[in-house]
Copies of this chain bind each other. A is one copy, B any other.
């Protein structure tokens, strides 16, 4: 089965559990938060790593992939709130708090976070050790002190360590992706941290480039947000050219970091293919000097 089919099926099943018999508007908000999806990059990486490691319990891998995407969707819903980015649009449609309400946006995010942990526990009845390890890694990369909540929290500090900030805010869920993929397949997650860290770093640099270059129509969400909110950015630090060179270095390092495993070559190919999706040629061509 194609990874995208596995991911959409697992997300659909998870949200169906969360909806059944609940209040109608909040139920609809859960669907709205996860559909239509973006690139589903994080769960795709998770399942790719699981496959590279043998994927001996696909139901556990699918649950882990769905859980990770639910956390990502929850973070988008909360980040879009007026007190953060105050975003009007997300994935080409009104942000959830605009389409529903602020209370339902807060609750939808909260519910998706909870559902993520529930999905892992529910899928792992015959592999409780993996469920516990998946829960610990997902929590570590989501909450405090080093997950995406911490990353967002750094924006409330007077002084920010740019590397720590990006590692938590964007890197968190990519490290969760590679490490949870290994755990779901019964492997040691530690050697997989670097790959996730580097992919996350690449993604952040690419996001900074897109924010600096693209139009809102290209992205389906507001641009120039980093500049507007005075947020740290690789483009501000290195310039456009420098940021593109940094991105290429990071991706090369990511491929070099892949641990030895049965599916190592396929996984390297996947990362190369993603490089094109992380920073499309069309964007790369907009950079002066490229």
A103, A143, A144: which has the most chain B beta carbons within 10 Å? A144
Collect the chain B residues with CB atoms within 8 Å of residue A30's CB. 144
- Which residue of the partner chain B has the closest CB to A122? B136
Q: Are B144 and A115 in contact (CB under 8 A)?
A: yes
Interface of A, helix, strand, loop or mixed by DSSP = helix
- Which residue of the partner chain B has the closest CB to A165? B23
Verify if A282 is at the interface (C-beta below 8 Å from B). Answer: no
Verify if A26 is at the interface (C-beta below 8 Å from B). Answer: yes
Q: A128-B132, A132-B132, A144-B111 are in contact. Are A106 and B122 (CB under 8 A)?
A: no
Q: Are A106 and B131 in contact (CB under 8 A)?
A: no
Q: Are A113 and B113 in contact (CB under 8 A)?
A: yes
Q: Are A106 and B135 in contact (CB under 8 A)?
A: no
Collect the chain B residues with CB atoms within 8 Å of residue A281's CB. none
Stretch at the interface among A41-49, A146-154, A194-202, A209-217: A146-154
Verify if A257 is at the interface (C-beta below 8 Å from B). Answer: no
Quote the shortest CB–CB distance from A120 to chain B (angstroms).
Answer: 8
Verify if A140 is at the interface (C-beta below 8 Å from B). Answer: yes
Interface footprint category on A: 35 or more
Verify if A271 is at the interface (C-beta below 8 Å from B). Answer: no
Q: A22-B145, A106-B81, A144-B30 are in contact. Are A139 and B153 (CB under 8 A)?
A: no
Partner of A25, one of B124, B142, B146, B157: B157
Which residues of chain A have a CB within 8 Å of any CB of chain B? 18-27, 30, 74, 78, 81, 83-84, 100-104, 106-107, 109-111, 113-115, 117-118, 120-122, 124-125, 128-129, 131-133, 135-136, 139-140, 142-147, 149-150, 152-157
User: 26 A-B pairs, CB-CB below 8 angstroms?
Assistant: A19-B145, A22-B146, A25-B156, A25-B157, A83-B103, A83-B106, A103-B152, A103-B155, A107-B149, A107-B152, A110-B143, A111-B143, A111-B149, A111-B150, A114-B143, A114-B149, A115-B144, A117-B117, A118-B135, A118-B136, A120-B135, A121-B132, A121-B133, A121-B136, A122-B136, A131-B132
